Structure 1
Amino acid sequence: MAPPASPPAFRPPAVRDRLLAALSTAASSAVGPTSDFDTDWPIPADLGERPAGVLAAFHDDGRLVLTKRASGLRHHPGQIALPGGKVDPGDADVVAAALREAREEVGLDPAQVEVLGVLSPHRTVTGFAMFPVLAMIRGPFTPIPEAGEVDEVFTVPFDHVADPARYRLERRQWRGDWRSYHVAAYGPHYIWGATARVLLALARRLRA
């Protein structure tokens, strides 16, 4: 008598499938709008909403591309960020801005990018409405940091990005007051502020 067949090994959904699920209506309803102020500050009435697009681009194995911004930049110098920036007059929309900036900042050819969708905007303390664009990178990609704009390009594993338990709240003084902000440190990289808050919202969508 032949032994009973072993049950098939569990295979978690592919990264692409999980990101598409995070963009679903059900996941969207589980996570509200986010901002740099949603920990302990009210949003100022005069805060601007200049549109910006940032690219959350994942390799097939789940690694997310992040940058360390150059220390001499006007906005968010030295911080860990998703490639992206403000919408320029020549950009059709926030997706076009994110793709253009990713090409400029890390050398990612838009032809290699499969755009999956756009998350709700995150309002930053610097007056931007930052739209995270979820995407997959197709084929080999060797980043080329933009001189004067990007000090480093690195990747973070999907398991780190997608686990809400990896994120914590810290506090520091800013303009004379104490404020709280999210942190998701990875190795030597201190991922915090708007980038950490956007990734936490994604992590919560992935668990919804």
Structure 2
Amino acid sequence: MIRPVFEPETLPVEATGADLPPVSGGRLTPDGLRARFEQRLSWAPEPIVEAPWRDTHVDPRVAAVLVPLVVRDHGLTVLLTQRADHLNDHAGQVSFPGGRQEPFDANATATALREAQEEVGLDPSRVEILGALPDYLTGTGFRVTPVIGLVHPPFTLEADALEVAEVFEVPLAFLMNPAHHEERVFRWENGERRFFAMPYPRTASLESDGGASANSVGGHYFIWGATAAMLRNFYRFLAA
């Protein structure tokens, strides 16, 4: 049976991570992150993930995303995109720049940097790669490697209008605060899907170096699904 379509924003919040320990502020800095990735940490990815890829006859498609941490004077921010509504995969959702690995990509880092340049015009020379998180298997059949990188200004962006509706930034401290990690669940007759959401209020003051910028209209950016799950894993890594 095909899992029914649902509206994630309409589902109630069942829990948050307010009882979890915060990430030390020192780890949310360029030097703190460099030091963290140099360590060999023992930590466990988040147990709540998307429904497993069940087609045993087809291997998941290999992909990578760049988790771009922009070095701002007021602290690190995470550069995110809102995907265009007409796309086949994850239309209209908030995502990291990224996509499928091509045969000519040397590795996941090459895929992530290439896709970020194609989607938002981010020059790879402005990105300092720190490392990667464990692969994330999506319910739509992608095995995604999240590649973490510091983005050093100045840089300019030019969003690909065919893929990206908007580019915006969210403070890393906001996303790494577990109190902002909502757990929601969609139940139907034959099962349920539990997922994370991290709604972020829209403001008129978010920075963007060229290209599309954050909309000043009220409401919020609804960060959920695979993007929120990878951010939750990033929190687990930093809090370990």
Question: Residue 132 of structure 1 aligns with which residue?
Answer: 146
Question: Residue 228 of structure 2 aligns with which residue?
Answer: 196
**Match for residue 87 of structure 2 among 67, 70, 73:** 73
Percent sequence identity is 38
User: For residue 97 of structure 2, what is the amino acid of its counterpart?
Assistant: P
Question: Residue 67 of structure 2 aligns with which residue?
Answer: 56
Distance, in Å, in 2 between the alignment partners of 1:89 and 1:153 is: 28
Moved over 6 A (4+): none
Question: Residue 104 of structure 1 aligns with which residue?
Answer: 118
Question: Residue 16 of structure 1 aligns with which residue?
Answer: 30
Question: Residue 5 of structure 1 aligns with which residue?
Answer: none
Question: Residue 54 of structure 2 aligns with which residue?
Answer: 44
Asked whether the 8 Å contact 1:55–1:98 carries over to 2, the reply is yes
**Mind listing any 5+ residue stretches in structure 1 that lack a counterpart?**
1-10
User: For residue 54 of structure 1, what is the amino acid of its counterpart?
Assistant: V
**Match for residue 43 of structure 2 among 30, 39, 49:** 30
User: For residue 54 of structure 2, what is the amino acid of its counterpart?
Assistant: P
Question: Residue 144 of structure 1 aligns with which residue?
Answer: 158
Question: Residue 216 of structure 2 aligns with which residue?
Answer: none
User: For residue 30 of structure 1, what is the amino acid of its counterpart?
Assistant: W
**Mind listing any 5+ residue stretches in structure 2 that lack a counterpart?**
1-24, 202-219
Which range moved further: 194-203 or 45-54? 45-54
Query: Is 1:118 aligned with 2:132?
Result: yes
TM-score, length of structure 2 as denominator length: 0.73
Q: Tell me how many residue pairs correspond in the alignment.
A: 193
CA RMSD of aligned residues (A): 2.2
The structure with the largest alpha-carbon Rg is: 1
TM-score, length of structure 1 as denominator length: 0.84
